[in-house]
Structure 1
Amino acid sequence: MMLRLMKYLFATAAFLVFSSAAFSQKVKFEVGAPAVVAVGEPFRIEFSLNAKPDGFTPPSFTGFDVLAGPTASEGTSVSIVNGNVTKTVSFTYTYVLSATAAGKGTVSAAGVEVDGKTYATRPMTIEAIAEAAAPEAGAGGDTAGRRQGDGTASAAPGTRLGADDLLVRVSVSRHEAYKGQPVRATFKLYTRVALSGIESPRYPAFNGFWVHELDVSGYDWQRETLDGKVYDARVIKEVLLYPQQSGRLLIEQTSMTAIAQLVVQNPGRSQSLFDDFFGGGQTVQQVRRNISAPPVSITVKDFPAGAPASFNGAVGKFRLDAVLGEQTVAANASDAYVLKLSGSGNLPLIQAPKLEMPASFEQYNMKTTESLAYDASGISGYRQFEYPFIPRAEGSYTIAPVEFSYFDPEAARYVTLATAPAGMEVRPDSTAGRNTPSGLVSGVSKEDIKILDRDIRFIRIGDPGLVRKGNFLFGSLPYFLALALMLGGFAAGYVYLKKHLREMRNVTLVRNKKANKVALQRLRAAGDYMNAGDERRFYEEMLRALWGYMSDKLNIPVSNLTKDNIREELQRRSVSPERVERFIGIITECEYAQYSPSSSGQMNEIYGAAARALSRFESEIKK
């Protein structure tokens, strides 16, 4: 009887908890659809609700044919975490539409009724594009809302790969900027076919810029138009660029290998009705295509003339605040003066403002703290500079105002900020009276006596009592021997420097000699990433080491370096084919591992094989 009563009580409590969780949830009614579609292309539009509706008012569609719908689906989930119960209810109404003509079509608001209240979605506009040539069946398809978890496109595979089905483009937020003004560079991948991944991405070096890479994990695939065609597009890399020199700077060419999935007919077998139904006569094949984006130029303007004396290269919009720790302290007690620079701009590159303090204040090393946020618009936050000091003598003092100037690129002018003067009272040291010498002159402090004692020393008078010891070195045999050694050393140094300068003019020889040193530095960096378990950066650094070593050793620019010309050049230099193929295999393993999960054991194996290969090449490859 007692057990049955406990079951009833538990069931009642669970019902109340679940009911309260459901009723307390805020009702949301939203619509989701692609912003751009192709004429004649089927696409889906979904109206989602996180509560159980009492009724649904369908929208009206202008410029679209309704191919199917509305199709209703329902889902419920309950989660209990640390005693907190969360119940989620979802209702979805789905339509399949097709645009009838090019232009902008409209979808009116849909409505639902929940617990006597009416909720409505926002009306939306969808643009339809009439493409020059319709894609093959399955080449574009309805990919909206159907993406793989790894971020690759999962449309139905097409039957052929067109010239413009895979593209990569680089866009910048501005083509003209001042020094220190942020430029956002966005690398975007466009596809009209099913895409399984990319290989061997080569991004620019961004010479002349200070670079900060932004997180692109939050970006998802979106429908976009490019040159009159509809693509699935996604941001694959985004960086903030801060120009460090004026003139024309170039964002170099970007290249990579994209892997498309195409449907091909199995060779040597007839296509029967049975194969058509079950798909037995076709297979999905991965096709690799090299794609690249052209360079992008940025015109960087120098700062205008008339910069204030307190300007040190800060660009943006800032605010300067100052705080004095204690306005009344005892002599020989520590205190601090704090400057806080906040705003948006090139904060990481800004130097600390110069602080002038009274002569009797002993200053110590400045401490810097910062809190910065990076987003697509730039860098914002604050940097705080703390100046510790100790006043050594009592009295009333004033810390002079601190000036800080920055350049506002939007207004194209300099702005100078200044703090208010800070008054400070220094009391006598509590221990000073015990050590005051008798006969101290009135008006002269103990600190003045200490400074005077360090500043002036009495001159010795009378007979100095100097005594000559030993013989002069000049004219003796050791003197001439030392002179001969110096002349010989000078001649040897002259010959060495002449030879060194001659070798330095030979760019090929210099790169050849430095190839092993640069590769070892990169291998050490890759080893650090391996120990930290950072696979992506490990394989990136390994590829830089391997490609860079061969570029320097064989005197081939990295942009022109391929596996084929490495193989030809090494065989021409009498390197055994087995070692050449092993080296090419290491590069291929690193490129493949960038986009597939691996283990720490595989990283150790690749790292050891690369180190051994470079060591053997260093002894086999001649100048």
Structure 2
Amino acid sequence: MTRLFVIAIALMWAAPVFASDDIAIRATASPDRLAPGYTFRLEITIEGKGIRSLPDPNMPRLKSFDIVGRSSSQQVSMSGLSVTLSKTVAYQVRAPKEGKYQIPSITLVYEGKTYKTDPIDITVDPSAPVPQNQKRRAPHGMPGFPGLIDPFAASGGGSLFDRHLRLDNDDLMVKMDVDKKTAVPYEPIIATFSFYRAVSLWESPSYEKPAFEGFWVESLPFENGKNEQLSKERIDGKDYIVAKVRYAIIPLSPGKKIVDQATLSISEGPWSERIRLKTKPIP
């Protein structure tokens, strides 16, 4: 695989400045002064005008912080004939021990150009005001955001930030299978995409299905009526959670056709570049 997972006491803000190709990135931290064991919100916003999709930011790895939650949102706005895309990724970050820290510049690359935010200074001070609606988090407690917890994960401590450092080469696998490789026009073929994982995930992966050129394609639910099937498998002594989706693909004309590769994009952790897993094309 290729390794490509409020109470505002003070707010650092950088207004987006669009370059000639109309893309910008900014980052904020709120609060930027807090007591040890409490959390601040790190928010990264990307905006682009006149483009079809926004790239993901490249997060620096911060060994001094624990990430206890993540959320994201996207927005599309129009003004006349101009379309603006906006993507916001927010992290809930637990402050380390007393001291002064800096979040380095967060970057993104678009059409060969690199854009970056200003570094953000964080002060962890025992005398800082304590938010009324927030409890202090223990340094190695379990994350407090149930939506990010893997229902199949093994019990045990450690932060999500710690977990992303433990990824082996065979922890994540993808494949595409078809039930037959020979068919006449308009004869259905069942194509099944399978994602195998032996670790907990930081966030839901992003899946891009094949183009299926030359086929009529329909999603094919499983016997229980659901579009996704979850199961457990043991391969070479290793336990995996397997997620499957399948399609009915119908060739529209005779001749040799190829089921192109499917791609799954996933992050090891909040400060890591994304991993892209690709299936092999099927002739």
Q: TM-score, normalised by structure 2?
A: 0.39
Larger radius of gyration, structure 1 or 2?
1
| TM norm structure 1 | 0.19
Q: Which has the higher helix share?
A: 1
Higher-RCO chain (CA-CA 8 Å, sequence separation at least 6): 2
Higher strand share: 2
